[in-house]
Amino acid sequence: MAIRSLFQACLLTPLVSLTAAKPIQGRIGSFAETQKLADPGYGPVPGQDPLFSSYYGKDAPFPAYLSDVVLPTKIGPPGEDDQVWQNLLSAEWIIFNFYQQAVEAFNTSSFIKAGMPNTTYQRIQEIRNNEAGHLRIFQNQISATSLKPGACEYQFPFYDPISFLALVTVLEVSSMAFLTGLVQDATLPSSQAAMLAIAEVETRHEVWSLMEIWKTNPFAGPADTVFPYANQILDTTGAFIVPGSCPKLNPVYPSPRQGLPALSAASDTTSLIPGSNIGLNFTDPTNQPSFAAGTQYYAVFFHGVANISVPVNTTAWPAQEIRVTIPKQFETKGVIVAVVADTPGAPTTDSVVAGPGIILEQPAELAVELI
């Protein structure tokens, strides 16, 4: 309870302005200072400065305290992959703030008291630093003719060290799946390589949490999960954004945005391992699916590089819950991404009518707690 109040207090306390002379750390910088980020050479360089790996302060590191939008400095057509990088930068603001809020809410002893290794807080700070480096890398990938999105305000459903660490595991493995889709949206090989390099770092974070936090075998199957529709995953992260808090100039997040109904397992679910029969819950009462009479719908489950479609009966919905069995062929490893689609295999973005829902399989015990 104490930690919950502390966390809420942190969320409510307005961040104080700090006039930092050097671009190393601080809280909220001015709009004018933020515009300096348009120069890729401004401030510490990711990969060349320990700030993005081994900085142990509580304050947000560069460039995160400069959270306004960065305006274009040139007129002209956008770079080929600018929209993809804008989506990724907006998503990164969410992930960075997830870790930054934890760094501010907790300390070394919070995690030791929760029974975690005495290095946990340090690792969380280090992951936070990596995420700050991602912010800078993504800003620099957006060309000078396009706007670099700024930060919104965020709220996360964690209230103590354990619920935070559970979310770390699911967010990192979801990032890994999400990047397998985003890389398909990018056209430049250099963009694709940079995204792969980022996915690898998310994997390191995930492996750390599996080994050190959950004390499990960190290995998954031969391939992590490929899910082609990155923006559908990004859309689900909108739940972390405080409504109306984004900079007015930010592009729609994600762009393009389908606004599909959110999908989760019903709250009475006791197991999410392959072979389990689950009820589907479309969790947003203001955004429910509509199923056409006479159309056969499918729950499509993505795991590894494959997907398996299971027909679902939607005729009596919503009076009767839609139930489906998670394909028992899948290994209880990594993550399963589930959607409801009007075509087996969900071959196009538009064939998806609800979801995605992220089903954590490793550690499987955590999955049910996260519903």
Ligand X SMILES: *[C@@H]1O[C@H](CO)[C@@H](O)[C@H](O)[C@H]1NC(C)=O
CA-nearest of 216, 244, 228, 265 to 365 is 216
From the list 189-197, 215-223, 312-320, 329-337, the region that binds ligand X by CB under 6 A is 312-320
Q: What 3-state DSSP class applies to 217? A: coil
From the list 58-66, 106-114, 170-178, 233-241, the region that binds ligand X by CB under 6 A is 106-114
Interface with ligand X includes 239 (CB under 6 A)? no
Dihedral sign (CA 218, 170, 259, 352): positive
Q: What 3-state DSSP class applies to 162? A: helix
From the list 9-17, 22-30, 90-98, 104-112, the region that binds ligand X by CB under 6 A is 104-112
Rounded least distance, CB 294 to ligand X, Å: 12
Q: What 3-state DSSP class applies to 265? A: strand
For ligand X, give the closer residue by CB, 151 or 195.
Answer: 195
309 and 327 Cβ atoms separated by less than 8 Å? no
Rounded least distance, CB 111 to ligand X, Å: 10
Rounded least distance, CB 316 to ligand X, Å: 4
Q: Scanning residues 134 to 173, which ones bind ligand X (CB under 6 A)?
A: none
Rounded least distance, CB 347 to ligand X, Å: 5
Interface with ligand X includes 266 (CB under 6 A)? yes
What are residue 165's phi and psi, to 5 degrees?
-65, -30
Given the structure tokens 């804008």, which residue do they identify? 86
**Residues whose CB is less than 8 angstroms from the CB of residue 258 and which lie 6 or more positions away in sequence, other chains included:** 231, 232, 235, 349, 352
From the list 66-74, 94-102, 125-133, 339-347, the region that binds ligand X by CB under 6 A is 339-347
Interface with ligand X includes 232 (CB under 6 A)? no
Given the structure tokens 């009966």, which residue do they identify? 313
For ligand X, give the closer residue by CB, 12 or 316.
Answer: 316
Q: Rule CB under 6 A: choose which of 345, 363, 364, 370 binds ligand X.
A: 345
Interface with ligand X includes 283 (CB under 6 A)? yes
Interface with ligand X includes 295 (CB under 6 A)? no
From the list 46-54, 101-109, 125-133, 217-225, the region that binds ligand X by CB under 6 A is 101-109
Query: Which CA distances in Å does 31 have to 35, 166, 174?
Result: 6, 35, 32
Interface with ligand X includes 338 (CB under 6 A)? no
48 Rama class: left (phi>0) / alpha (psi -120 to 50) / beta? alpha
Rounded least distance, CB 135 to ligand X, Å: 27
- Can you read off the two tokens belonging to residue 25? 């750390």
Count of CA atoms in the C-beta half-sphere (13 A) of 159: 7
- In this structure, the number of other CB atoms found within 10 A of the CB of residue 136 comes to 26
Interface with ligand X includes 190 (CB under 6 A)? no
- In the complex, the residues that contact ligand X under the rule CB under 6 A are 6, 107-110, 118, 228, 266-267, 281, 283, 307, 313, 315-316, 320, 345-347
